[in-house]
């Protein structure tokens, strides 16, 4: 796995086929605590999105608004506090429409904290890189929020800019 700007986040992006983004992070909190940040809308808003509707059950709705971007999907599997799987995509996106990709998160007790593994699959080439940047940013914020630290204002929600479907090498 390659490292990135956040020292607490390890990632691996399979750029060759554009399908999977994988992250591992250690969080100094119990799995039961970290898990709740993926299923409780009040907690989700502390690290990702200004608005969230989370129906954390198989088939339940997942809706997270990040500025002007609206992620939509549904929960596929919820195993408290070990695992959560949901579909993911963006309203108005032709590349990653709502529910077109899958995010799997596992929560493993380790060294007094939680090892979080996030695997985002079914992304088209180019979108893996864009989503890797997004997850790196948000997992860094989760690391703070789950340990009781205010991650501060999210610059991705401040500008209200729509970031999906932009050319990779364009503005």
**How confident is the model over 48-63, as pLDDT tens digits?**
988 999 999 999 999 9
CA dihedral (101, 75, 134, 120) in degrees, to 10, reads -50
Mean pLDDT over residues 60-76, rounded?
96
In this prediction the pTM is 0.84
pLDDT digits (tens, 9 = 90+) for 135-166: 999 999 999 999 999 999 998 876 544 444 44
Q: Which parts of the chain fold into alpha helices (H)?
A: 31-36, 41-47, 127-145, 155-158
Q: What is the pLDDT of residue 125?
A: 87
Q: What is the pLDDT of residue 11?
A: 53
């Amino acid at each position: 796995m390659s490292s990135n700007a956040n020292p607490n986040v390890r990632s691996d992006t399979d750029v060759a086929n554009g399908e999977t983004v994988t992250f591992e992070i250690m969080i100094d909190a119990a799995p039961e605590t970290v898990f709740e940040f993926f299923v409780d809308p009040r907690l989700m808003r502390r690290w990702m999105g200004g608005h969230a509707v989370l129906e954390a059950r198989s088939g339940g709705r997942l809706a997270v608004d990040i500025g002007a971007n609206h992620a939509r999907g549904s929960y596929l599997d919820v195993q408290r506090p070990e695992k959560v799987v949901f579909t993911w995509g963006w309203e108005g996106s032709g590349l990653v429409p709502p529910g077109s990709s899958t995010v799997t998160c596992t929560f493993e007790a380790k060294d007094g904290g939680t090892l979080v593994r996030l695997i985002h699959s079914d992304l088209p080439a180019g979108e893996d890189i864009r989503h890797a940047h997004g997850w790196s940013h948000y997992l860094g914020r989760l690391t703070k929020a789950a340990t009781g630290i205010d991650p501060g204002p999210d610059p991705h929600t401040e500008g209200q800019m729509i970031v999906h479907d932009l050319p990779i090498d364009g503005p």
